[in-house]
Amino acid sequence: MSFTSLGLSEFLLKSLKDLGYEQPTPIQEKAIPAILEGDDILAAAETGSGKTAGFTLPILERLVKALPPQGNLVTALVLVPTRELAVQVEEAIRQYARFFPRKLKTLAVFGGVSINNQMQAMRGGCDIVVATPGRLLDLVDRNAVDLRAVTTLVLDEADRMLDLGFADELDEILDELPNQRQNLLFSATFPKGVKTLTEDLLDSPVEIEIKQESTIPEQLVQRAIEVDRNNRTMLLKYLLKQKQWSQILIFVASKRTANNVEMKLYRSGIQAQTLHGDLTQTERTQALKDFRTGRCKILIATDLAARGIDIPNLPCVLNYDLPRSPADYVHRIGRTARAGEIGQALSFVDHEGDAHFKLIEKRIQQQISREQIEGFERSKDIPESVTAKKGKAPVKGKRKSKKDKLREAAALKAQNDAQKQ
Ligand code: AMP
């Protein structure tokens, strides 16, 4: 199958050729013709499957025939869960649209940066807006954006969006949109929240499911290294010196660990950067940019970087801390070995993480043989803290999100205020 046979115009074929895409990925093969037909789509697609081009190419194809935007109207709206993805998807769209016959206006809208620039950029309308829900609603509230002319809505990483507690904001956005529109929903998994959303949102959608085997590519080598918890930084330093990876993405469980590990490496003369939610948006963007361009060789990140972020030629991902869920594991390691490249994913497995790693293996249906590195062998004795804790692993999804807590506090305050009156 070729891009030409999918019915794409010359201006798109030209940019695909420039990008070196030889043929469509399975998701593109199925999604592009259906979207061109005007159908709603429900696609099970992971990041790395080529889904961004899967929805962008047909949207661009249809936009050629549409009128340029006016006022502060938007023609196509892509909703994403994180700021980084908003930037990345908008950049990808601009790449695919390089030879668009007229000047195409696209905009990434996300929080954590000044709203004024985004308000100004919205003037004259936009062909495509890629947005995180909260900031988009701020713009709607300020009458800076009008969503009543949206013809196509894309929900990217829908499972993630609901996981992050966007349900209410999504509802508010849907209220702003016209009823007549095309809806394209992409989700790695279909938990209950997503299922309900799809029923309310989609009109006889074309369902696309790409076989899950491709989730962990064959050329991605997974390794599990047993080590004591308090020996992990020493081992990390040793591996960095020994292996001399051109670049490595190190995942940790918290912002504090990210900063700690960075500091410890720094004291040993190893330069690294961090990426986590406590940094300003400018710092986050800069860290990613430095990593993408190769200026930064070692990036220590929380799960903020696990989803969707596309770093070309990344040879190694290391789980310094194990991720909370098997799905996050797949997302993290999927940052390497993309688009046919070779990659390695290392996981430090301490006694505390043993049971959890077994669960991950069970879910991904793969067994990864355990290794020990000479000089850093894991002690035979299982710490008491582990034996005492057994059976008390935290349940994902049961913890209240920051937003839930804020909502609860607001409800409590309203209740108290009402009682006072
Ligand atoms: P995505 O799943 O949209 O994040 O895309 C993953 C990566 O695959 C990106 O680096 C794209 O540039 C690349 N890609 C998308 N479609 C193709 C294609 N048909 N051929 C080669 N690479 C592609």
Residue ranges and CATH numbers for the domains of the chain are: 4-209 (3.40.50.300), 220-378 (3.40.50.300)
Q: How far is the CA of 28 from the centre of ligand 1 (A)?
A: 10
**pLDDT at residue 421 in the model:** 57
More confident residue, 310 or 417: 310
> Looking at residue 393, what is its pLDDT?
45
Please, what is the average pLDDT of the chain? 88
Give the model confidence (pLDDT) of 122-155 as tens digits: 999 999 999 999 999 999 999 999 999 999 999 9
User: How large is the average pLDDT for residues 271-287?
Assistant: 88
Q: Give the residue with greater pLDDT, 256 vs 396.
A: 256
- Which of 4, 22, 25 has most ligand 1 atoms within 8 Å of CB, for mutation? 25
In this structure, the residue with its CA closest to atom 18 of ligand 1 is: 21
- The yes-or-no verdict on residue 392 having pLDDT over 50 is no
Neighbours of 372 (CB within 10 A): 11
Contacts of 345 by beta carbon, 8 Å cutoff, 6+ apart: 220, 221, 222, 223, 316, 317, 318, 319, 332, 333, 336, 337
- Residue range 207-257, pLDDT digits in tens: 998 755 446 777 889 999 999 999 999 999 999 999 999 999 999 999 999
pLDDT at 402: 57
pLDDT at residue 387, rounded to an integer: 72
Mark out the alpha helices in 217-367 (DSSP H runs): 232-243, 255-267, 281-293, 326-333, 354-364
pLDDT confidence of 378, banded at 50, 70, 90? very high
Two tokens, residue 303: 């799960």
Q: Decide which of 419 and 65 is more confident.
A: 65
The sign one gets for the Cα dihedral 307, 311, 315, 321 is: negative
Task: Residue count of the chain, please give it.
Answer: 421
Give yes or no for residue 195 having a pLDDT over 90: no
Read off the pLDDT of residues 36-81 as tens digits, 9 standing for 90 and up: 999 999 998 876 778 999 999 999 999 998 989 999 999 999 999 9
What is the reported pLDDT for 391?
47
Provide the 3-class DSSP secondary structure of residue 132: coil
Q: What is the CA radius of gyration of the chain?
A: 23
Spacing, Cα 215 to ligand 1 middle (Å)? 14
What's the CA-to-centroid distance between 25 and ligand 1, angstroms? 8
User: Is ligand 1 within 6 A of the CB of residue 52?
Assistant: yes
State the Cα–Cα distance between residues 50 and 205, nearest whole angstrom: 20
Confidence of residue 397 (pLDDT cuts 50, 70, 90): very low
DSSP 105: -
User: Which residue in 302, 186, 187, 202 sits closest to 249, CA to CA?
Assistant: 302
